[in-house]
Each structure stands twice: as C-alpha cells, then as structure tokens.
Amino acid sequence: MKHLLTIAGSDSSGGAGIQADLKTFAAHGVFGMSVITAVTAQNTCGVTLVQDMTPDMITAQIDAVFSDIRVDGVKVGMVSRSASIRAIAEGLKKWKPPVVVIDPVMISKSGYPLLQPAACDTLIRELLPLATLLTPNLPEAEAICGFSIKTEGDMEKAATAILSMGAKAVLVKGGHLEGRKADDFLSDGKEGIWLSGERIKTEHTHGTGCTLSSALASNLAKGMSLLDSVQSGKKYVTTAIAHGIALGKGHGPTHHFVDLYKKAGIFEE
C-alpha cells in the first residue's frame, strides 16, 4: 500500500482541506497521513476564522511523519503565511518525497482569503519549484502569473509562465471560464493537452480542488503516468460532484465514496 501525506488546513465541516484529502486517499486505496497548517472555523456557508499553526509545529509534524514512515507522495493545500510556506519548503527539500502535488489554495468557495497577499510571492519562489504538478484554478493562475486569463489561449500562456517558474507540470483548471465548457489544460513543457470537462449544474462543489489534487497525488504515487493520473482524477472528481451531498445551508461537499458505496450496495441516490 502507498502512503500519502497531505499538508493543508483543517475544515471543521469536513468537506474540504485535510478532511477531503484523507477521504480521497482512502477512496484511492492509499494510506493517508496529515500535517495541519491551519485550523479553520467553517461550514457550507463560509469561513469565519482561521488559526495558523506555528512554523515550528508544521516542521515537527513533517519530521514526525517522514522520520518514521515511508512517504510515497505529498499533496500541499492551504498555506496562508510566508513563514508556513518556508517551513513546508524546507521540509520537502530535507525529505525529498518522490511526488509533490501543490494545490495553491488562495480563496475559499465563499470568498474568504486563505492566502495572505504577501505570501503569494513566497509560494511562487519557495514552493512552486518543488511541484511535480501544480493545479491552479483560473483566479489562482492569474495571481501567480500576474495577468488576466479569459480565454483558452490565456490558459496556455499561463501554463508556459508557471512552468518557467520551476514546476515540472501544471494543470490549469478551466472551471471559471464562461460558457458551457469547463476544459482543463495540462502541460509538462514538452506537450500540452486539452482535457474536456463536464460542467455539472449543482451547488454542492465544496472541496473539489482539494479532492482533485489528492486524487492526482494518489495516482502519481501509485505509478500512473501524468496524463493517466489526471484523466483518472478528473473522472473521479466529476463523479463526486455529480453525486454531491445536500449538506448544510450552503455549498455541500462532493461525495468521495460513490463507487465504493455502490459496490457495497449501500449507496442512496
């Protein structure tokens, strides 16, 4: 069994962050571990408060896991401060995991800022070059690249810019594009591939970015190629969105275990 580590924030409502990552790991048949970078008070309606872990605590968690357990892949999610980013970057350089998928979480689904503006440059400088794969949505890609992304051509331009910053591969997610399509652009600098995406009409999309990046980390750690990992991950998250759970008063979470529940005969539509 592969062992996957998520380095991210905790979501008290269970739909995103560490909780979504661990559910996704379990659904992919890998053993999940966690380093918590921040504790958020949030529910399906939004985030009300964020408490960051100290850099020393982040470092201690990373060292505790790596010094005892083989880590086959890492997913990095919410990191709100420059000091936290530097602690994570130092830990990854020290322990050198074979797979690092970075989801540059900047704003919550409800619009709450999760990455301090001053920390964006630190993320670009310290963490981005360590990425086996970076998975920004369009607002995140705009913040990283410094220009507006409104078309598919802009997405290709953004991918080139991000790769020039040091990431080995990038998946620019097109869900924020206007129109019926929600296609993504995958590039490793050698080849760029457009992957079609189905736009599903639902409000229950809380944690989709966390879920996708964790699925990609799982697939890559299990030895799948980059393209196969992304295609499989997109299929998984599309199914999870299509069966999103009507939980709470706002944006409900995706369903991480649809296929497993169906096989067990306990799935309810």
Query: Which of these is catalytic: 73, 91, 209, 252?
Result: 209
From 173, 211, 222, 233, active-site residue? 173
State how far the Cα of 65 lies from the Cα of 249, in Å rounded to an integer.
Answer: 37
User: Do the beta carbons of residue 194 and residue 173 sit within 8 Å?
Assistant: no
209 noted as active-site residue: yes
Distance CA 17, CA 76 (A): 10
Cα→Cα distances 238→101, 256, 266, Å: 19, 10, 20
Annotation says 211 is catalytic = no
Contact (Cβ atoms closer than 8 angstroms) between residue 24 and residue 211: yes
List the beta bridge partners of residue 134: 102, 170
Choose the catalytic residue: 32, 207, 233, 244: 207
Tell me which of 210, 211, 238, 244 is the catalytic residue.
210
Q: Which of 44, 132, 208, 211 is catalytic?
A: 208
Residue 145 bears catalytic tag? no
From the candidates 44, 132, 205, 211, give the one annotated as an active-site residue: 205
**5 close to 34: Cβ distance less than 8 angstroms:** yes
208 classed as catalytic:
yes
Catalytic residues: 173, 205, 207-210
